[in-house]
Amino acid sequence: MSESNPHKGRTGIDRIRHATGYSLAGLRAAYSGESAFRQEFWLAIVATPLAFYLGSNWVEVALLLGSLAIVLIVELLNSGIEAAIDRISFERHELSKRAKDLGSAAVMLALLLCGGIWAAALWHRLFA
C-alpha cells in the first residue's frame, strides 16, 4: 500500500487559500533570505514605471514588464534549487555544483534577455 500526501486532498477555495499562503511565504523567504532576489525585485519596482514610458504600445510594455517578471521567476527557481541542494548536504559534490551552476546560468540568461529587451526598447525610443 502506498502512502499518500495528506496535503494533496484539498480542493476548491481551501486549496487556493493554502496555495496562496505557501506562495506568499516563498516570496517572503526569497526577499528576506536572498540578496539577489531583493536586488532584482527593487530593479523591477523602479523599472516598472519606465516600461510605460519606453513602450510605444501595450505589446512593448508587456514585453518590458514580462522580461522583469521572468528574471524574478528564474531567480525564485534558482533559489529553490539551491535550497534543495543545501538541504541534502553542504558537502562539496560535482552534481551539487552542476545543479547550482545550471541554476545560476538560467538566471544569467534571464538577465541577458531582460537587458536585451530593455536596450532595444531604449534604442527604439531614443534613436528611431
| Cβ atoms of 118 and 64 closer than 8 Å | yes
My answer on whether 1 and 38 are in the same domain is no
My answer on whether 44 and 81 are in the same domain is yes
My answer on whether 9 and 38 are in the same domain is no
My answer on whether 12 and 24 are in the same domain is yes
Q: In the prediction, which pLDDT does 24 show?
A: 97
Known catalytic residue at 94 = no
Q: What distance in Å separates the CA atoms of residue 22 and residue 12, rounded to the nearest whole number?
A: 16
pLDDT at 94 over 80: yes
What DSSP assignment string belongs to 31-68?
HHH-HHHHHHHHHHHHHHHHHHHH-SSHHHHHHHHHHH
My answer on whether 80 and 114 are in the same domain is yes
Q: Where in the sequence is the domain holding 84, given as residue range(s)?
A: 34-127
Does this model's pTM top 0.85? My answer is: yes
Q: In the prediction, which pLDDT does 6 show?
A: 66
Residue 100 corresponds to which cell in the numbers above? 547550482
Q: What is the pLDDT of residues 36-54, one digit of tens each?
A: 999 999 999 999 999 999 9
> Which one of the listed residues 34, 40, 60, 75 is annotated catalytic?
75
Quote the number of domains for the chain. 2
My answer on whether 59 and 92 are in the same domain is yes
3-class state of residue 11 by DSSP: coil
My answer on whether 100 and 119 are in the same domain is yes
